[in-house]
Chains A and B, each alone.
Chain A
Amino acid sequence: MVDVVVIGAGVVGCMIARDLSRFDLDVVVLEKEDDVGCGTSKANSAVIHAGYDAPPGTLKAEFNVRGDAMFDELCEELDIPFRRIGSLVVAVREDDMKELKKLLERGRDNGVSPLRIIGRSELLELVPNITSKAYAALYAPKAGIINPFELTIALAENAAENGVSFRFNSPVVDIGAGEDGALVVRTPHETYRSRFVVNAAGLFADEISRRAGAEPYTITPRKGEYLLFDKAYSDLNVVVFPTPTKISKGILVCPTIDGNLFIGPNSQDVEDKDDTSVTSEGIDEIIRGAKELIPDLPLGKVITSFAGLRAVSDNNDFIIEASRKVKGFVNVGGIQSPGLSSVPAIGERVVEILREEGLELKEKGDFRARRKRIPAFRELTNEERERLIQRDPAYGYVICRCETVTEGEIVEAIRRPVGARSLDAVKRRTRAGLGRCQGGFCSPRVIRILSRELDISPLQVTKGGKGSEILMGRTKEFIEPDGDHHAS
């Protein structure tokens, strides 16, 4: 019997888990994938929005503004990089200005500050290579960028350090009422009994809600594709949005906190909740859209493309409420943009809801709020590097050339709570394999390290969980003793 089961280890589920870990509770997070943050959390624009976009009165608006204000302290506690570089909504067409003024007013209604409309000359100072058609922009100097996966893993690590259990490869197949008012949650391998279940299952939150017999709603996956550019060709220092349309904020040109540039996302409803394929039409669309903002993009320096799916609910707003139908079941669904920006506020509200629903919240005396990130060799001074290598020589062995990631960091990423167990998990925690050669030099070495640390054969090392093993056999294994191969 546990106190809370959280379904989904995306950024929302991990935030809730971390907030709950402040209290004397038995919390389990069930995740169907092999690692945290494998859904929308790892494939989004990574922007902490100022909050002028969502209509006042919506949960989106309320949580965006509240969440945004909580980010600085959260990132400081979790030791993750976060930069408020500002954002621009650029006007290029004549009636774009009307939209900008609407957004300005909306922003003011939502309590966003500072926020103002700037003219072309100030725009040029911020983005010297902005399209010649741009004549004005809505400038929110405090909008921020973050690494959403880094946030997710930091939350999960901190939660785990404070006692939360994480179960991977554990999809919830059934939720029902048990005796004495508890809910019974079943995965293929285990059964949990819990008074409270928080549904943070992202794209699948509607199915979980239905399965539990709670309020029905529909989540429609809406795909957004992205192109990522080589760091050496990225010197933009502000987030550039186009004037938004009815369904999306549009195709951005945006720096990442790690120094790359990306363009995207487009916006396309899809059928399949697992369809994260990149399409050639999508690539063309985001290039066209991005060029309308910044015509000279380093298109020859794309290092990779990817796609994420937004979880769009049928009322187009967040669903954050205790179920009236199933006691103890809390829905946290439809968290699409500005979901990331709202995350700390969502965690805060869910804890409140659970308290109102009867969960006893006794503060832990030994809650460890602070978490230290894995030392990043590439960011340290030479003195710090020298000290680190003396403490652990593995920090002197560079594994990933493009991002200068050392063996020490990779081993640390594997050994920590909620540690990496696959190539992609190592990549997301350390950046090894994210650079311009996309793992060409480092992946054999990372496989060797994973094999050694996890005590498995290199043949068992996966890209991102079972079924994605990288290597298929040992040399000589496929040679048939009396096969019918022949040279012609």
Chain B
Amino acid sequence: MPARELVVIGGGPAGLSAAIEAKKLGVEDVLVIDRESEPGGILKQCIHPGFGLHVFKEELTGTEYAERQITEARDLGVEIMLDTMVIELTADRRILAVNSSDGLLELKAGAVILAMGCRERTRGAINIPGYRPAGIFTAGVAQYFMNVEGYIPGREVVILGSGDVGLIMARHLALEGARVKSVVEIMPYPSGLIRNVVQCLQDFDIPLLLNHTVVDIHGRDRVEGVTIAEVDQQKKPKLDTARHIACDTLLLSIGLIPENELSRMARVEIDGITGGPVVDQNMQTSVEGIFACGNVLHVHDVVDWVTIEARVAARGAAGFLRREKARRASTVQVTAGEGLRYVLPQKIDLGGELEETQKFFMRSLRPMDRARLLVRSDKGVVMSRTLRSVRPSEMISIKVKREILEQKGHLEISLHEGSERGA
């Protein structure tokens, strides 16, 4: 199975930011896997400004932020694999991905950064009664249709939820000649930024109905209207306040859910409140070597903080990779060669406690009157002993000097019949 040093799952702002930082920190092999045909994640459809004030000290659109990161990542030598879906992730960092040109790809990652982002809450999550006609979209999908594919989802629109995605969509739609009849919000305050309430709703005379929700959807083939009603303190609809709004489209902007299926598969512990992994100060999850950042960890509202967070995760992952490398370099593997059934211990941890001499225990495969025991390192024979009356039933032990072990690499201990060296 091919081994990759750092694999980042998701090529949106979280994944790209992490990959860029990892490269800058000296991680040589950085692979970003993304399921779409272009990187940038959700930023591809964010044509509006409000991005980059902290990271780039300029106000950029989402698309500009994405392109700057994609260019930087590519310039730094980050490998970005597109149109590829990761379908399995294990706790020991084995990844199974698939695309149509390579087929199935199995990789073993030195470290993994989870950056899969989030999905939108759907109608089912809040059980809006009524029919299931065409014309009901979550706001993000409608935004994708408009800004990436170039199609308008509807002409007379009601938006449920005053989160930023819904507010931004109100403006997008108004600027495309659609009529947004109302933004309906169940809470007594808007959930998006004030700036967006002003520049997306007030600028376009779009009414914001607080303390209201949608209680019915009409229309069998296509949305024909919605019934809205005021809600009480317990957020239950007061049906005597119900009224009808004719429309052909209902957009739902009712929340985001971190997309942690792969995380769960890898047995990453998930926090029930955030919906994302439990992490330490290095963004490492409960599974060693697996880190998380961005919306998959918790839902963000400003992409700049995603980048800051992703850099921490990258630093964490780079540190992890460095320590793993050091650990591997400081482990001596000891194997049983010819004539021996086994040797114990099978490895020496040079980072741990070491005595002047290290005792090794072994058993021979067969009886020998006279035998030559050889200890070989990568450099050749470093020690030899003559043994008499060797029996499989009797444990053999030897002492090896610390200096031999500190030369690192690999040791092989073998036993040969007779007094001659080797075979």
Please state if A396 and B98 are interface contacts (CB–CB under 8 Å). yes
State how many residues of chain B have any CB contact under 8 Å with chain A. Answer: 58
Q: How far is the CA of A487 from the CA of B178 in the complex (A)?
A: 13
Closest A residue to B122 by beta carbon equals: A438
Cβ of B222 within 8 Å of any chain A Cβ, yes or no, is yes
B contact residues around A82 at 8 Å (CB):
none
Cβ of A44 within 8 Å of any chain B Cβ, yes or no, is no
Partner of B152, one of A402, A462, A473: A473
Closest B residue to A300 by beta carbon equals: B125
A contact residues around B261 at 8 Å (CB):
232, 402
- Which stretch (B131-139, B356-364, B365-373) binds chain A? B131-139
Q: How far is the CA of A487 from the CA of B201 in the complex (A)?
A: 10
B contact residues around A304 at 8 Å (CB):
122-124
Please state if A404 and B131 are interface contacts (CB–CB under 8 Å). no
- Which stretch (B69-77, B100-108, B189-197, B337-345) binds chain A? B100-108
- Which stretch (A178-186, A245-253, A270-278) binds chain B? A270-278
Partner of B131, one of A232, A277, A389: A277
Partner of A463, one of B85, B133, B140, B203: B133
- Which stretch (B60-68, B141-149, B382-390) binds chain A? B141-149
- Which stretch (A56-64, A94-102, A207-215, A439-447) binds chain B? A439-447
Within 8 A of B (CB), among A454-475: 458-459, 462-475
Please state if A393 and B145 are interface contacts (CB–CB under 8 Å). no
Please state if A397 and B127 are interface contacts (CB–CB under 8 Å). no
Please state if A478 and B152 are interface contacts (CB–CB under 8 Å). yes
Q: How far is the CA of A88 from the CA of B49 in the complex (A)?
A: 58
Please state if A444 and B141 are interface contacts (CB–CB under 8 Å). yes
Within 8 A of A (CB), among B73-125: 83, 85, 87, 96, 98-104, 119-120, 122-125
Partner of A488, one of B132, B205, B249: B205
B contact residues around A440 at 8 Å (CB):
119-120, 122, 138, 140-141
Cβ of A386 within 8 Å of any chain B Cβ, yes or no, is yes
Cβ of A345 within 8 Å of any chain B Cβ, yes or no, is no
Cβ of B130 within 8 Å of any chain A Cβ, yes or no, is yes
Closest B residue to A465 by beta carbon equals: B221
Q: How far is the CA of A407 from the CA of B125 in the complex (A)?
A: 27
Please state if A302 and B129 are interface contacts (CB–CB under 8 Å). no
Please state if A474 and B151 are interface contacts (CB–CB under 8 Å). yes
**CB-CB under 8 A for A404 and B87, given A397-B99, A474-B152, A475-B146:** yes
Please state if A390 and B127 are interface contacts (CB–CB under 8 Å). no
Closest B residue to A390 by beta carbon equals: B103
Which of B123, B134, B264: most chain A Cβ within 10 A?
B134
Closest A residue to B149 by beta carbon equals: A444
B contact residues around A478 at 8 Å (CB):
152, 155, 176-178
B contact residues around A459 at 8 Å (CB):
151
Partner of B103, one of A306, A389, A471: A389
Partner of A472, one of B152, B174, B264: B152
A contact residues around B204 at 8 Å (CB):
487-488
Cβ of B407 within 8 Å of any chain A Cβ, yes or no, is no
B60 to chain A, nearest CB (A): 22
Q: How far is the CA of A304 from the CA of B121 in the complex (A)?
A: 11
Chain A proximity mask over B255-289: 1 for CB below 8 Å, otherwise 0: 00000010010000000000000000000000000
Q: How far is the CA of A227 from the CA of B123 in the complex (A)?
A: 12
Please state if B151 and A467 are interface contacts (CB–CB under 8 Å). no
A290 to chain B, nearest CB (A): 14
Closest A residue to B264 by beta carbon equals: A232
Please state if A302 and B104 are interface contacts (CB–CB under 8 Å). no
Q: How far is the CA of A462 from the CA of B222 in the complex (A)?
A: 10
Please state if B98 and A389 are interface contacts (CB–CB under 8 Å). yes
Within 8 A of A (CB), among B202-229: 202-205, 215-216, 220-222
B contact residues around A365 at 8 Å (CB):
none
Please state if B222 and A398 are interface contacts (CB–CB under 8 Å). no
Closest B residue to A306 by beta carbon equals: B132
Within 8 A of B (CB), among A88-140: none
Please state if B131 and A276 are interface contacts (CB–CB under 8 Å). yes
Cβ of A354 within 8 Å of any chain B Cβ, yes or no, is no
**CB-CB under 8 A for A280 and B85, given A444-B149, A479-B176, A485-B177:** no
Q: How far is the CA of A43 from the CA of B397 in the complex (A)?
A: 74
Cβ of B153 within 8 Å of any chain A Cβ, yes or no, is yes
Cβ of B316 within 8 Å of any chain A Cβ, yes or no, is no
Cβ of A70 within 8 Å of any chain B Cβ, yes or no, is no
A contact residues around B15 at 8 Å (CB):
none
A contact residues around B101 at 8 Å (CB):
393, 396
**CB-CB under 8 A for A385 and B248, given A398-B35, A472-B152, A487-B203:** no
Please state if B134 and A302 are interface contacts (CB–CB under 8 Å). no
Cβ of B154 within 8 Å of any chain A Cβ, yes or no, is yes
Closest B residue to A299 by beta carbon equals: B127
**CB-CB under 8 A for A278 and B129, given A438-B123, A472-B154, A472-B248:** yes
Cβ of A188 within 8 Å of any chain B Cβ, yes or no, is no
Cβ of B380 within 8 Å of any chain A Cβ, yes or no, is no
Please state if B129 and A483 are interface contacts (CB–CB under 8 Å). no
A contact residues around B202 at 8 Å (CB):
488
B116 to chain A, nearest CB (A): 9
A contact residues around B83 at 8 Å (CB):
397
Cβ of A228 within 8 Å of any chain B Cβ, yes or no, is yes
Closest A residue to B96 by beta carbon equals: A382
Cβ of B150 within 8 Å of any chain A Cβ, yes or no, is yes
Q: How far is the CA of A282 from the CA of B216 in the complex (A)?
A: 13
Please state if B154 and A389 are interface contacts (CB–CB under 8 Å). no
Chain B proximity mask over A431-453: 1 for CB below 8 Å, otherwise 0: 00000111111011000100000
B115 to chain A, nearest CB (A): 15
B292 to chain A, nearest CB (A): 18
Please state if A469 and B222 are interface contacts (CB–CB under 8 Å). yes
B contact residues around A396 at 8 Å (CB):
98-104
B49 to chain A, nearest CB (A): 16
Please state if B104 and A385 are interface contacts (CB–CB under 8 Å). yes
Please state if B119 and A458 are interface contacts (CB–CB under 8 Å). no
Q: How far is the CA of A403 from the CA of B249 in the complex (A)?
A: 27
Cβ of A371 within 8 Å of any chain B Cβ, yes or no, is no
B150 to chain A, nearest CB (A): 4
Q: How far is the CA of A471 from the CA of B100 in the complex (A)?
A: 28
Closest A residue to B133 by beta carbon equals: A468
Please state if A473 and B103 are interface contacts (CB–CB under 8 Å). no
B contact residues around A477 at 8 Å (CB):
152, 177
Please state if B129 and A277 are interface contacts (CB–CB under 8 Å). yes
Q: How far is the CA of A274 from the CA of B124 in the complex (A)?
A: 21
Q: How far is the CA of A386 from the CA of B96 in the complex (A)?
A: 12
A contact residues around B134 at 8 Å (CB):
462-464, 468-470
Cβ of A401 within 8 Å of any chain B Cβ, yes or no, is yes
Q: How far is the CA of A397 from the CA of B83 in the complex (A)?
A: 7
Please state if B221 and A398 are interface contacts (CB–CB under 8 Å). no
Please state if A441 and B129 are interface contacts (CB–CB under 8 Å). no
B contact residues around A302 at 8 Å (CB):
124-125, 127
**CB-CB under 8 A for A393 and B144, given A438-B124, A473-B155:** no
A contact residues around B148 at 8 Å (CB):
444
Q: How far is the CA of A465 from the CA of B220 in the complex (A)?
A: 11
Closest A residue to B125 by beta carbon equals: A302
Cβ of A218 within 8 Å of any chain B Cβ, yes or no, is no
**CB-CB under 8 A for A382 and B104, given A280-B129, A305-B127, A396-B98:** yes
B276 to chain A, nearest CB (A): 16
Please state if A283 and B127 are interface contacts (CB–CB under 8 Å). yes
Closest A residue to B176 by beta carbon equals: A478
* For the complex of A and B, 5 pairs with smallest distance between CB atoms: A478-B177, A467-B221, A396-B100, A463-B134, A398-B85
A-B contact pairs, 25 of them (CB 8 A): A274-B220, A276-B131, A279-B129, A303-B124, A382-B104, A389-B100, A389-B103, A393-B101, A393-B103, A402-B261, A404-B85, A404-B87, A437-B119, A440-B140, A441-B119, A443-B141, A463-B133, A464-B221, A469-B134, A469-B222, A471-B145, A472-B155, A477-B152, A485-B174, A487-B204
Extra pairs beyond A398-B35, A470-B153 (17, CB < 8 Å): A276-B131, A278-B127, A282-B129, A304-B123, A306-B132, A385-B103, A385-B104, A397-B99, A398-B85, A398-B87, A404-B87, A440-B140, A468-B133, A470-B134, A472-B249, A474-B152, A487-B203
